[in-house]
A and B are shown apart, each in its own frame.
Chain A
């Protein structure tokens, strides 16, 4: 018996740590944590370095040529003697394709996110998610190749009829719906139900005819349109919207899911339909998260290089008229990618530094939008957690 006790105590002796050893452990732990901290702050250091090294190569351009030409001139002839570095048309082209892709991707992305979070049953959602993830995973150069080799010739040869069909498919249900809703809204004031029904039917017929006319006129105009080049802003906008969609859908869906059940149940209890609940209650509650999703999606289109480089036509001019999406444009990212090969890196000419100035511009825009979207998300989380 006593032998066992002896053993027991000697074993516990091993756990009693001497003062000096404890100190050593403490030093080791602090040192370890410092190393961890250093590694974790590596990311921050990298961000600082990116800003610094891009700015260092961008500043000489502005020292050499000032700000005015870069932001106000549209003549981009970097190879000339002396070169001209007006980037306005390029900035405009960037804005144009970004806006175009946002116009396509934002409504679709929000609708899809709402559908995923509130409408589809779980079993279907399981299959929809991988589709979105696959769309996000496809390399940008594959999208660019598709835009250049398949979509561009298609737009060039049969762009008019294609646009007409897209217009019909998209506009017909929308117009039909507005006819029904519009005639209903216009007749709500009439008390007598019989008369109201009669008026509503008349209005529906009238609006219906109007809608058909609009469908036909716009459709035939689109059909007659000749597209001179398939590598244009429209092509790029379509492909960029495919690429921005997954980002918008997943971030917006997260935000919709974080809106509690109580809000939805309250709305249903008041007799609202699902669409009314979603549009009037859930989406407003999640609006800031959706806004963050939209910003992130737009950032994805803005920063995309390969698709615009391959399929935007790379022509540095502002389209005529300014909203003409069927003309070739040029973007900042494509200019950086395309012109670096010819820019002389060794002597550090303006031609080399102007590309860094463009990079800095992109970097600053993405930094600001990131901060904004982050703030928005944090704020929404605070509000929804009940403050």
Chain B
């Protein structure tokens, strides 16, 4: 091979390496950006009057007098729309029954869409669920509903070789020549006045209970559950892990038994997370019966087992990185081995041990598979500290799955899902960030 080709190969090898790292950074960016952008949308958005009504009714928050004024103001515009609807219904009464039935069939979706947009139509009994008692709380959702009201979606099956395409027909066309016709253009022009959208910072998203299965309200029960589970896991795993690390670094002899213990440690680190879930179910719940069924306690124990190897490894590394001179000085002064460990080595290794602990805390907070069978429920209110021994809890990780995959209105509440993902990712990444900063400080300190 001539030199030129070799140089080209060398350069391309370098760019392959750099390219891979860039791909990883891009992957991180591509995953994080939409989560942050859309997740912030759960807190900051154009809130409509329906949102303010809901806050007032459910949480008694907001300026009541102003809300009344706004309701009155928007009510005026709404009345006009309802009047048109009523007029048309009266017109239907006097129409040819065949024709009237046809119109009624087309009126159904219009009314549903109008209800979805503005809330229940006066004089009609709203459904029992909260979702039927309010219109769209978010302006961008209201715009979608408005589109649904104005256009009928149809599917084009004309070409059997390609997938059916969706197209839209103005609903107004089917009501040509009736008294309902002006309703469509009226609602289109006055939607903003009927809903009064305003920039809202809904901090309650983080601290409120959920209302009607997360269609409204906040995610506090999930956040609290996540904290309970992660901290509970740490309570079990951290002391055990640190003590085990002390044994491995200071007491273990270099023999078969020790290497078996180490092997067990790395085996435990490699067990798939769902198997921890199976084990938690079979052992903690079905055999030990720590609780009747799922509970925070069972989940925390399962998570503790999962993060134990990470804690042991981190603590071992931290203890090993304490300079040998510290230990020798302490022993030379006549202190016992245990005394040296407790008063000299552990304090010096503490920042490193805590770093490992913080990273494990993040891991416990983010894991889903081990808590599916042991601790997580999809709906529920925040539980008190006294209930952790016996009752299950909603948790961020599980509810993200549940809302995204199993919720009946999954595609309607994307903002809640994004908000949850952002909350979880921020918790985990903030924990990791603090661990990184802590570690940087230790390195600085050890360098002197």
A residues with a Cβ closer than 8 A to B are 15, 29, 32-33, 36-37, 39-44, 46-47, 49-50, 53-54, 56-57, 107-109, 111-112, 114-116, 119-120, 128, 130-135, 137-146, 148-150, 173, 177, 180-181, 184-185, 188, 226, 242, 245, 249, 273-276, 278-279, 296, 299, 302-306, 309-310, 333, 336-337, 340, 345, 355-356, 359, 362-363, 366-367, 369-371, 374
| 19 examples of A-B residue contacts, CB within 8 angstroms | A40-B261, A43-B309, A47-B268, A50-B279, A56-B282, A120-B18, A120-B21, A144-B404, A177-B12, A180-B5, A188-B2, A273-B10, A275-B14, A276-B10, A305-B368, A333-B274, A337-B274, A340-B281, A367-B271
Nearest-neighbor residue (CB-CB) of A243 within chain B: B27
User: Which of these binds chain A: B46-54, B74-82, B239-247?
Assistant: B239-247
A29, B336: Cα distance in complex, Å: 10
- Looking at the assembled complex, report how far the CB atom of B117 sits from the nearest CB atom of chain A, in whole angstroms: 25
Question: What A residues does B279 contact at CB under 8 A?
Answer: 49-50, 53-54
Q: A54-B275, A177-B8, A359-B274 are in contact. Are A111 and B19 (CB under 8 A)?
A: yes
**Are A374 and B263 closer than 8 Å at their CB atoms?**
yes
Q: Which residue in B243, B369, B400, B417 is a CB contact (below 8 Å) of A36?
A: B243
Q: Which residue in A150, A184, A369 is a CB contact (below 8 Å) of B270?
A: A369
**Are A43 and B244 closer than 8 Å at their CB atoms?**
yes
**Are B274 and A139 closer than 8 Å at their CB atoms?**
no
Q: Which residue in B23, B28, B247, B309 is a CB contact (below 8 Å) of A108?
A: B23
**Are A274 and B35 closer than 8 Å at their CB atoms?**
no
Q: Which residue in A148, A345, A362 is a CB contact (below 8 Å) of B272?
A: A362
A interface secondary structure, majority: helix
B residues with a Cβ closer than 8 A to A are 1-2, 5-10, 12-21, 23-25, 27-28, 31-32, 34-35, 162-163, 240, 243-244, 246-248, 251-252, 260-261, 263-279, 281-283, 286-287, 305, 308-309, 312, 334, 338, 359, 362-363, 365-369, 372-373, 397-398, 400-401, 404-405, 414, 417, 421, 424-425, 428-429, 432, 436
Q: Which residue in B21, B31, B372 is a CB contact (below 8 Å) of A112?
A: B21
Nearest-neighbor residue (CB-CB) of A348 within chain B: B286
**Are A274 and B13 closer than 8 Å at their CB atoms?**
yes
**Are B244 and A139 closer than 8 Å at their CB atoms?**
no
- Looking at the assembled complex, report how far the CB atom of A172 sits from the nearest CB atom of chain B, in whole angstroms: 12
**Are B17 and A119 closer than 8 Å at their CB atoms?**
yes
Q: A37-B247, A40-B248, A274-B10 are in contact. Are A148 and B367 (CB under 8 A)?
A: no
Question: What A residues does B6 contact at CB under 8 A?
Answer: 273, 276
Q: How many A-B pairs fall under 8 Å by CB? A: 274
- Looking at the assembled complex, report how far the CB atom of B409 sits from the nearest CB atom of chain A, in whole angstroms: 14
Q: A139-B366, A150-B34 are in contact. Are A184 and B2 (CB under 8 A)?
A: yes
- Looking at the assembled complex, report how far the CB atom of A296 sits from the nearest CB atom of chain B, in whole angstroms: 7
Question: What B residues does A57 contact at CB under 8 A?
Answer: 278, 282
Question: What A residues does B421 contact at CB under 8 A?
Answer: 141-142, 145
Q: A180-B8, A362-B272 are in contact. Are A111 and B20 (CB under 8 A)?
A: yes
**Are B20 and A139 closer than 8 Å at their CB atoms?**
no
Q: Which residue in A32, A299, A362, A369 is a CB contact (below 8 Å) of B338?
A: A32
